[in-house]
Amino acid sequence: MNLISDTVTKPTPAMLQAMMSAEVGDDVFGQDPTINALEAKLAKMFGKEAAVFCPSGTMTNQIAIKVHTQPLDEVLCEESSHIYQYEVGGYAYNSGIGINLIQGEYGKMTADQVEAAIKPVHDWLPLSKLVVLENTCNKGGGSYYSCEEVKPIRDLCIRQGMKLHLDGARIFNALTETKESTLQVGELFDSISVCLSKGLGAPVGSVLIGDEDFVRQARRVRKVMGGGMRQAGYLAAACIYALDNHVERLAEDHERAKKIGELLESMPYVKAVKPVHTNIVIFDLEGDLTAAKFLDVISAKGISAAPFGPQTVRFVTHLDYTEAMLEKTLEILSELKF
C-alpha cells in the first residue's frame, strides 16, 4: 500500500484509452489540439483568459514567481510552503529574489500577518512584490483556505500593489471541502497553478492560469526553462480525463484519510496528529521512536509512507488507494507495538 504521496497513482485503463486516442501536434508551435483544449478548459473553469501546460508544479510556480517579480524583489509566503521548502531554492536561482517567511498556523497566513511582513520602501530593502498562498497546505497537514479567508489578503494585495499567486497543487481537494467554485477562486488570484498529477491521477502535468499578458510572458519563461514540449497532447489527454472524471471522487480520499487520522490519535506510539482536513495525515511519534524506525516496521508489513521530520510521518490517500487497502492499513496500524 503506497501512501507516500498522491503522485504515485498510475493511469486507469479508461485514462490510458483517452491518452492513446489523443490528437496531437507540436505544442511549441501551438499546434497540439489536446493541449490547447486543456489550457482553454482550465482558463474557462477559473474565469481567466489563458493558461499554459507545464511538466510540473515546480515549473508552474517558478514561472509565476519569475513573471511577477524583478531581481531584488521579495516574495511573502508561509514558512512551510512548497515554493520555499521543496523547490531547491529556485526563487533565488531563477528570479534573483528573496523570500520573506511568515509563520502561520498549519500553513495558513492571515491578512494581518501578511500586512505586518510587508517592508517599507527604502533603497536598502527588498521590495515586497508578490504573495504566494498554498491551497491545500501540504506541510500544514492538508489544511485549506476558504475564499472568504483569502479575500482580505486579496484586498491587501490590491491596496499595496502586490500580486497574488496560488500554488493550487491540491486546489480541487480544498474545493471538495469548501464547496466553492473554481470561478470564485479565479477572482481572487492573479495567477493559479494547478497539478493534475496529484489527487486527480494524471501521470504528468500542471497548468499555470492567468490573464493573456501574464500567460504570454509565462510561455517565454517555460521555453527558457526547457519546458516547451512537443506532442505532449498524450499527457494533456490524461489531464482532461482527470478533470472530467476524478474530481468528485476526491471526497473518498478525504474520508479515508480521516479514518487513518482517527485511529492514529488513539495509538500509544503516536504523540500528535495534525488535524486531518483533506487527503493528508501528518503525525508525530511518541518517545524516542524515529520516523526511520517506524517506516521500516510498516514497510515490512506492506505500507510505504514518507518521513516528514526526524519523528514525523506523512500518509497521503489517493485514487489508487482503495477501501480494501484502508481496512488492511487500519488493521496493521492498530496492531503495531513498539
Ligand X SMILES: *Cc1c(COP(=O)(O)O)cnc(C)c1O
Enumerate residues 264-323 that contact ligand X by CB under 6 A: none
Say which residue the cell 480521516 belongs to: 258
Minimum CB–partner distance for residue 62 and ligand X (Å) = 9
Minimum CB–partner distance for residue 171 and ligand X (Å) = 10
| Single-letter amino acid, residue 284 | D
- The answer to whether 107 contacts ligand X (rule: CB under 6 A) is no
Instruction: Give the full edge-to-edge strand order of the sheet including 163-168.
Output: 50-54, 206-210, 191-195, 163-168, 127-134, 73-78, 98-102
Candidates 53, 58, 63; CA nearest to 233 is: 53
Enumerate residues 160-199 that contact ligand X by CB under 6 A: 167, 169, 195, 198
Cβ nearer to ligand X, comparing 61 with 278: 61
- The answer to whether 200 contacts ligand X (rule: CB under 6 A) is no
Q: Looking at 134, 190, 252, 253, which residue binds ligand X (CB under 6 A)?
A: 134
- The answer to whether 217 contacts ligand X (rule: CB under 6 A) is no
Choices 57-65, 174-182, 183-191, 268-276 (CB under 6 A): range interacting with ligand X: 57-65
Cβ nearer to ligand X, comparing 34 with 197: 197
- The answer to whether 94 contacts ligand X (rule: CB under 6 A) is no
Minimum CB–partner distance for residue 178 and ligand X (Å) = 17
The rounded distance, in Å, linking the Cα atoms of 64 and 218 is: 7
- The answer to whether 58 contacts ligand X (rule: CB under 6 A) is yes
- The answer to whether 56 contacts ligand X (rule: CB under 6 A) is yes
E strands present in the chain: 50-54, 73-78, 98-102, 127-134, 163-168, 191-195, 206-210, 270-273, 280-285, 306-309, 312-316
Choices 11-19, 52-60, 212-220, 236-244 (CB under 6 A): range interacting with ligand X: 52-60
Q: Are 47 and 183 in contact (CB under 8 A)?
A: yes
The rounded distance, in Å, linking the Cα atoms of 105 and 289 is: 26
CB atoms within 10 A of CB 321: 24
Characterize 106-120 residue by residue with b for buried, 16 or more Cβ atoms within 10 angstroms of its Cβ, and e for exposed: bbbbebebbeebbee
Minimum CB–partner distance for residue 325 and ligand X (Å) = 22
- The answer to whether 82 contacts ligand X (rule: CB under 6 A) is yes
Minimum CB–partner distance for residue 313 and ligand X (Å) = 17
> Where do contacts with ligand X occur on this chain (CB under 6 A)?
56-58, 61, 82, 134, 138, 167, 169, 195, 198, 206
